[in-house]
A and B are shown apart, each in its own frame.
Chain A
Amino acid sequence: MASVDKVGRRAPIVHSVRVDKVSRGAQILRFIRAAVVVVITSIMLIPVFWIVLTVFKSHPDAIAVPPKVVFKPRLVDSFVFLFTDRFLLPPPKLAQYPDECKESWTECVRNKCSKPRSGKELAWYECVALEGGQLVTGPGKYGEYVINSLIIAGCSTAAAVVLGLLSGYAYSRFDMPVKDFQLFFILSQRFLPAVVITIPIFLMYKDLHLQDTHLGMIILYTVVNLSLSVWLLRSFIDEIPREYEEAAMVDGYTRLQAIRKIVLPNALTGIAATTVFCLIFAWNEYAFALMLTSDVARTAPAFIPTMIGRGVVEWTSIAAGSLVFLIPVVIVTFALRKYLLRGVTFGAIRQ
Chain B
Amino acid sequence: MATIELRQVEKKFGDLHAVKPMDLTVHDGEFMVLLGPSGCGKTTTLRMISGLEAVTGGQILIDGRDVTWAHPSDRDIALVFQFFALYPHLSAWQNIAFPLQAEGESRVNIEKRVSEVARMLGIKHLLHLRPKALSGGDKQRVGLARALVRRPAAFLMDEPIGALDADARETMRAEIKQFHLTQNATTVYVTHDQIEAMALGDRIVVMSMGVVQQVGTPAEVYYDPANLFVARFIGSPGMNLVTGGYADGVVHLPGSNPYPVPPAWNTALQREMGSEGDVIVGFRPEAGRVTGTGPLVAEVYATELHGAYTVLHLSLNGTVVHIRADRGIDYPIGTAVRFDLDPEIVRFFDPQTEAALRLPFDGAQDKAQEPALRRAQDTALTGGSTNG
Contacts and interface: CB of A to CB of B under 8 A. Distances in A.
Task: Say whether A and B bind each other.
Answer: yes
Interface of A: 1-4, 6-7, 10, 13, 15-19, 22
A13 B76 contact: no
Contact of B54 (A1, A7, A15, A19): A19
User: Chain A CB within 10 Å — which of B55, B63, B68, B152 has the most?
Assistant: B63
Given A1-B185, A4-B63, A17-B69, 16 more contacts: A1-B1, A1-B151, A1-B153, A2-B1, A2-B152, A2-B153, A7-B63, A7-B76, A10-B74, A13-B67, A13-B71, A15-B71, A16-B68, A16-B70, A17-B71, A19-B55
Contacts of B70: 13, 16
B74 A13 contact: yes
B63 A16 contact: no
B336 to A, nearest CB: 40
B91 to A, nearest CB: 26
A19 to B, nearest CB: 5
Question: Secondary structure at chain A's binding surface: helix, strand, loop or mixed?
Answer: loop
Contacts of A17: 54, 69, 71
A4 B153 CA distance: 10
A14 to B, nearest CB: 10
A18 to B, nearest CB: 7
A314 to B, nearest CB: 58
B56 interface: yes
B359 to A, nearest CB: 43
B92 interface: no
A284 B261 CA distance: 85
How many of chain B's residues touch chain A, expressed as a range? 10 to 19
Contacts of A2: 1-2, 76, 151-153
B7 interface: no
10 contacts: A1-B152, A2-B2, A2-B76, A4-B63, A7-B63, A7-B76, A13-B67, A13-B74, A16-B70, A17-B69
B65 interface: yes
B56 A19 contact: yes
A7 B2 CA distance: 11
A95 B65 CA distance: 100
A17 B71 CA distance: 8
A10 B153 CA distance: 14
Contacts of B74: 10, 13
A211 to B, nearest CB: 57
A1 B2 CA distance: 10
